[in-house]
Structure 1
Amino acid sequence: MITDLAPTIWRAMTPDDLEPTIHLAGKLHTDYPEDNEIFMERLALSPEGCFVLQGPEKLEGYLLSHPWRGTLTPALNTLLHRLPAQPDRWYLHDIALTEEVRGQGCAQKAISLVEQAAQDHRLPLISLVSTRHALGFWHKQGFMAENTPAEEQAVLASYDPYAQLLSRPVHL
């Protein structure tokens, strides 16, 4: 039997998506847990940087991102309280995908959404903290390690001992 299911697409996150997004994060990021307030705050501060991957029956992923300034990034599970007044980069906080949609180009589409947000805000860089498991993926996407100040090393350690701050120019 063939069913006509809607395609899996990235769409803007709404407050109604927070509960399933938080649930998904708990399943996918057992090594990097964050409080519910982190998700709520990121959506409130930067709705233009938050998306969900809507599958035919459930959410298959999410993306959290926002404007940022400098190489001192938010530690894991830390509220921002406000965004910088004069950002110099777009910060990709998290892309998470279920196993079912990995390898289908969904992450690259999410990165394109981040790139568009950076362009819309006229920011020349995209930055992120990569955990040890994802370094190879991010390097393939053109992200390179940044020189980081000593204070950033403590932030990176909140993720794992191998975490790195990576950045790449926005393709204008």
Structure 2
Amino acid sequence: MPWRPMTALDLNQVQSLADAIHVSHPEDPEVLAERQHLYPEGCFMLVEDERAIGYALTHPWRFAEPPPLNRLLGAVPSPATTYYIHDVALLPIARGKGYAAQLTDRLVAHSREAGFDNLSLVAVNKSQVFWEKAGFRVVAVPDLGPKLASYGPDAALMVRDAASL
């Protein structure tokens, strides 16, 4: 599998990928580095032919309270109530090859092993259809609308039971 654990040495490549892929959702280098530092077992690089073509940042969090974009977390909460998928980013050349589905399977397995009942994320950039195929469903949470709007006009909070599928 071309996904491998991310290390601190990968962060310059992660920043370059993030800047190229998430033009509408920029994040500072400190934010990306903190995610990798706080929960390295949830951070991955996608490498094909020795070239970084994607990355993923995930960590435990509080369900229905997605962290604001481009903000430091400070710490992983205890107790955490969800395994949160902060970002799965692939260059166009990596899309359509099954890499995101491979990673999703790995994240679901990790969430189960870590004892989480669910995984959650905020779908952006028309990714909701992909996440629905991966077993996620949109969940409505009262008063979350303004925070979701900061992620973009099509943002949707999604959840998946860790035991499903």
The residue type equivalent to 2:76 in the other structure is L
Matched, 1:158 2:150: yes
Separation of aligned partners in 2, 1:103 and 1:144: 21
Three-state SS of the structure 2 residue aligned to 1:108 is helix
Separation of aligned partners in 2, 1:166 and 1:132: 14
User: Which of 92, 97, 104 is equivalent to 2:85?
Assistant: 92
Question: 1:88 touches 1:123 (CA, 8 Å); kept in 2?
Answer: yes
Separation of aligned partners in 2, 1:70 and 1:56: 37
1:106 maps to 99
1:76 maps to 69
Matched, 1:116 2:109: yes
Q: Which has the larger radius of gyration?
A: 1
Matched, 1:126 2:119: yes
Separation of aligned partners in 1, 2:35 and 2:142: 25
1:5 maps to none
Q: How far apart are 1:132 and its partner, in Å?
A: 4.4
Structure 1 residues 39-50: aligned runs within 5 Å: 39-50=32-43
The residue type equivalent to 2:85 in the other structure is L
Structure 2 alignment gaps of length 5 or more: none
2:163 maps to 171
The residue type equivalent to 1:153 in the other structure is G
- Listed one character per residue, the Cα deviations across residues 1-20 of structure 1 (whole Å, up to 9, x for unaligned) are xxxxxxx6100000110001
The residue type equivalent to 1:17 in the other structure is D
Question: 1:64 touches 1:93 (CA, 8 Å); kept in 2?
Answer: yes
TM-score calculated relative to the size of structure 1: 0.90
Structure 1 alignment gaps of length 5 or more: 1-7
Runs of 4+ with deviation above 4 angstroms = none
Separation of aligned partners in 1, 2:105 and 2:132: 16
TM-score calculated relative to the size of structure 2: 0.94
Matched, 1:53 2:39: no
Q: How far apart are 1:147 and its partner, in Å?
A: 2.3
> For the aligned residues, what is the CA RMSD?
1.3
Q: How far apart are 1:55 and its partner, in Å?
A: 1.5
